[in-house]
Chain A
Amino acid sequence: DIQMTQSPSSLSASVGDRVTITCQASQDISNYLNWYQQKPGKAPKLLIYDASNLQTGVPSRFSGSGSGTDFTFTISSLQPEDIATYYCQQYDNLPGTFGQGTKVEIK
């Protein structure tokens, strides 16, 4: 199975800050990577697909980049409603393994 290493596991930032999360795959996955947001008690929501494409209806402050093994997810200006856990997931191979998650909190 492909291993996805996500970091950091948690972060605390102020409203308006730029937030960056990284995800590293154990092998080349091209751009077959999604990013999801999960708010407490809710189901995950797709934010970014194919590493850098914004899902319909998702605010433009969210973005993704990368290819191969190294990927980055960015919130350009953190908002209070962005408090959540964020997960990367590769879909190059079954099983579609997830990163461990990054919990984002407001400082």
Chain B
Amino acid sequence: EVQLVESGGGLVQPGGSLRLSCSASGFTFSGYAVHWVRQAPGKGLEYVSAISSNGGSTYYADSVKGRFTISRDNSKNTLYLQMSSLRAEDTAVFYCVKGRGSGRTPSLDYWGQGTLVTVSS
């Protein structure tokens, strides 16, 4: 059974930093791209970032470019999202999502349960 478990969310002040983690199991992690998608409270889904299966290719939405960094450790079956210069508009549930292929193509299948990031003073 595919499982994705996010952690690291919490309350952070504007301008602060936070690192999200996503622990994967139930599939060959190194064979698939993984993605981050976020959802602000009461709002729709926003695609945030992607990383290819070997970590050699990444993508960032314009709204987070230069502030967020995606990375992965295939030896630990873990995905990361380092977030800095956080803004109130970054407040959202962040989902870790398995891609259907190895490249950055954003076709998504299995989703984690999400971790809430709240940016507020």
Contact = CB atoms under 8 A, between A and B. Distances in A.
Contact of B59 (A44, A94, A101): A94
Interface string A81-107: 000000101010011111111000000
Interface size, A (range): 20 to 34
B108 A46 contact: yes
A45 interface: yes
Interface in A32-49: 32, 34, 36, 38, 42-46, 49
A98 B46 contact: yes
A55 interface: yes
Interface in B102-121: 104-114
A54 to B, nearest CB: 13
Contacts of B44: 87, 98-101
Nearest to B105: A91
Given A94-B50, A95-B61, A89 B45 contact: yes
B68 interface: no
B107 A34 contact: yes
User: Which of B106, B108, B110, B112 has the most CB atoms of chain A within a 10 A radius of its CB?
Assistant: B106
A45 to B, nearest CB: 7
A42 B114 CA distance: 9
Interface of A: 32, 34, 36, 38, 42-46, 49, 55, 87, 89, 91, 94-101
Interface size, B (range): 20 to 34
A87 B104 CA distance: 20
Contacts of B47: 89, 94-98
User: Which of A36, A42, A55, A94 has the most CB atoms of chain B within a 10 A radius of its CB?
Assistant: A94
B113 A96 contact: no
Interface string B57-95: 001010000000000000000000000000000000001
A89 to B, nearest CB: 7
A68 B58 CA distance: 27
Given A43-B111, A94-B50, A49 B100 contact: yes
A100 B45 CA distance: 8
